[in-house]
Every structure is written in structure tokens, then in C-alpha cells.
Structure 1
Amino acid sequence: MKFLEFRETRPGEYFPPIIPNGFFARPVGGDRLMEILVVTDAGLSCNGVSSAWADLRGISIDGDIACLVSEKYVSGGLRFYLGECRFIGESGNMQKDYSGYPVEYCLMNRATFESQALAPRSECL
């Protein structure tokens, strides 16, 4: 199995960039930008619904819709529109990018980073 290599550029910062905690997007079926996820060290949560990083089975993109795939819930995962995602940076302002990359891809990097961290070392060879 081949893994994506994340290099630590500064303490706690990596390339490819992984999003810090917090995430806003327009959910599929929604008409406005809202906080749909709280990104934490343990996983993702929103309004009492949560998924540990280990619950995520992957990420799929279909046109302008991304899905964080999970078998934990009947819906099959959390869907949101690409290109309309934000997170609140250190400045307190909403940002569309992080380290020069769209935040939705940094979220996908974070999911990959966390899942690789949970994988047994023998799988990384």
C-alpha cells in the first residue's frame, strides 16, 4: 500500500498542508455557508453527529461535490460543495485557502494524514 508523504515544515505544520481545526462550507441541499464541521484532533463533529478519523473510508469528488465517505451513518458520508469552503484562520477572518491551497483539499489532506497516522507501521512499508 502506498501512502502520501507529509513533511513537517515547522512544528505542527505540514506539506502538503493539512487544515487546522474548524471548517465552514455550503452543504449539499443548503443555500448558505455554515459551519458544517468542527475539525478536532479526534475527528469530525457537527451538532452531535461525529466521526472519528478511523470512521472515514475515503474521499470522493463528483463534479463540484465532495464527500467524506463513512459507513457509520446511513447517508454514507458528509457532502459539501467544492469552491465554497472556508475556515477561520488565526486572524479571525474566514479564509478560502490555507498555505496557498483551497481549504477543502487541506481538509482532505487532514483526513489522509490522520488515517495514515492510525495505520499500523507495517502497512506503511
Structure 2
Amino acid sequence: MSDFNDQVIADFNANGGKPGGYFKDAPVLLLHAIGAKSGVERTQPLMFLPQDDNRWFVFASYAGGPKDPSWFHNIVAQPEFDISVGDGTTIERLPVRARVLEGAERDATYARQASLFPQFADYAEKTTRTIPVVELTRR
């Protein structure tokens, strides 16, 4: 997965925040979380659901895997970090705060993402866990 992520990050940076390949025509941001144990910044490319210029939603789907991804544990432990977003020309690095959505708010947001990108419905069917939805708000 690291080689795949490294390629997506390189493509993101080379194309103003709009990677091609698997993520062509999909909104992608780079999440720059701090490792909960290591204290080292880790960069993770993630599809997101834009809300407005100050809020984005990300999904700890891990492609329907049985456990939450490491980045999710890192942002729960340290909910203030940066993201990078781009418009195809310019990439901005922005400070954000994470909030894990619960209940109906989580369900509605996940359903909206799954309606736009059906692979998210597949991920939910592949796992027994509830996939976390995280709101990122600009600080």
C-alpha cells in the first residue's frame, strides 16, 4: 500500500492536487497526521466529501477491512493537524481539527458519499465494523 500511496501523493503534488489514475475525477486530499506513538508526521491520500471551503469529510473505510486504518487512530489521539487540498493548479496546506461523527449525522454523511462513489457502499458491506466518518474543520 505504501508504494501506491507514494505514487498518489506524487501525482497529487505534480498536478495541483488533482491526481489521475484510480483517483481521476475523485476529490482527494492529503492528510498530514502526527503518529500517536511515533510523533512523526504521516501523509495519507484520502478521498473526501467537500462540505464548503472550511469543512471536509473523510472516511476511515480501509477499503472495507476489518479494522480502522492507522491514520484514524492518529487523528483521534491528536485531532489538530494539517491537510493539503488543491484545485488543479494550486495546493494549499491548511490547519484543521477533526471530529468523529456519530449517529444520524454519521449515517447521512456516509450515505451521501456512497451515493457519489459506490465503492464506499461496497466497503460498508465487506466489513462488520461501522466505518468512521470524520469532519475536518479549518482552524
TM-score bin (small chain): 0.3 to 0.5
Report which of the two has the higher share of helix.
Answer: 2
TM-score, normalised to structure 2, is 0.34
Report which of the two has the higher share of strand.
Answer: 1
TM-score, normalised to structure 1, is 0.37
